[in-house]
Structure 1
Amino acid sequence: MEKTVRVRSTCLVQYAGNRDSLLSRFAGQHASLRADADRIVLVSGQDVIAGHKRRFTRNVSCFEPWHCVPLPDRKPGALRDGAPLCGLATA
């Protein structure tokens, strides 16, 4: 299955009820999401920009903290109240 998805301004892309983060430079852009029986791959142009094992749970968010590091420079307040990193422990 392949479909075009838009990367949200918070670096998230949604598929099958789950949310995954991408590098902030892709925020606001469209990407091609390719899902098969065991993997999900996101492609921009000819480049694979993300991929992971497919999850069959619902309403799960998977955040890579380094994806969002430049976000406050581009979108002040984007990380207010811990979003989108709310699921991560802080020291």
Structure 2
Amino acid sequence: MEPCIGKVYEAMDRTIEALKSLVKHDDKYEEISTMCVIKLDAHYSPLDAATYMLDLEFKDKKQCVDLEVANGWRIILERFDPDSAARGLIRDQLSKYRT
């Protein structure tokens, strides 16, 4: 079984974007999209963010600029290795992996 939380995040992003064309009233769109985000946030953990960051399928999606994902990744790195030099090496390796 492979990690799939990245696929859930991506599907939710696509769903929220699709709502823009389906819901004609801005206030209704905001209400529905907020409910979607609240549901997704209820199941969020830093480990989920790290798996999304490392998912090869989404390596071009710029997860690193998403503050929530980047923060989750940072938390996992700090738990994994308290040495800041080692974390810097891991970040460099992730950059190479993504390109």
Q: TM (normalized to structure 2)?
A: 0.27
Higher helix proportion (structure 1 or 2): 2
Higher strand proportion (structure 1 or 2): 1
Q: TM (normalized to structure 1)?
A: 0.28
Query: Greater CA radius of gyration, 1 or 2?
Result: 2
